[in-house]
C-alpha cells in the first residue's frame, strides 16, 4: 500500500491544511509530502528559473522514488502573493505545469488542484 502522495504547493499557510486533508481523504494515504514555493504553478509554467525548477524536480523525485508516492499534485490558489495572476491565467499555468511534471517521466499520476476563495480544493480536469 502506498502511504504517500506528493503536493507541489504554495508556501501560503492557508492552503496547506485543505490540500493535506483533501489528498489524504481522496487517495486514502497517511502522508502528503509537501514541496512548497511561492506560486509553484507560475514557476513551473514559466520554466525560466532552472535552479528553482530543478530543486522542485529533485524533491519530487525523492517523494516518488523513496516514499513511493504515486500521485503528484500541482496546486494554484486564490489570492496568491507569489503568483498574483487571475484565476484564468493560473488555470493555464496549472495545465502547463502538468505538462512539465509529466515530462520528468516519473511513475506517478500528475494532477492539478485549485484552491478557491473559501479554501475549498477542486481537482481540475
The CA distance from 52 to 75, in Å, is: 16
Structure-block grid coordinates of residue 113: 488542484
The CA distance from 89 to 103, in Å, is: 21
- Mean pLDDT calculated for residue range 39-54: 96
pLDDT at 120: 97
pLDDT of 100 strictly over 70 = yes
What are the CA-CA distances from residue 21 to residues 15, 26, 40, 47, 96 (Å)?
10, 8, 20, 29, 25
Question: pTM of the prediction?
Answer: 0.96
pLDDT at 125: 78
Homologous superfamily (CATH) for 4-124: Carbonic anhydrase (3.40.1050.10)
Domain residue spans in the chain?
A: 4-124
Amino acid at each position: 500500500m502506498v502511504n504517500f502522495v506528493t503536493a507541489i504547493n504554495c508556501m501560503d499557510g492557508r492552503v496547506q491544511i485543505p490540500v493535506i486533508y483533501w489528498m489524504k481523504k481522496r487517495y486514502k494515504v497517511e502522508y502528503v509530502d509537501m514541496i512548497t514555493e511561492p506560486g509553484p504553478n507560475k514557476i513551473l509554467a514559466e520554466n525560466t528559473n532552472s535552479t528553482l525548477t530543478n530543486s522542485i524536480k529533485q524533491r519530487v523525485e525523492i517523494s516518488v522514488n523513496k516514499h513511493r508516492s504515486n500521485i503528484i499534485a500541482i496546486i494554484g490558489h486564490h489570492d496568491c502573493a507569489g503568483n498574483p495572476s487571475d484565476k484564468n491565467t493560473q488555470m493555464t499555468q496549472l495545465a502547463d505545469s502538468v505538462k512539465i511534471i509529466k515530462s520528468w517521466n516519473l511513475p506517478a499520476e500528475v494532477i492539478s488542484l485549485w484552491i478557491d476563495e473559501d479554501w475549498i480544493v477542486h481537482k481540475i480536469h
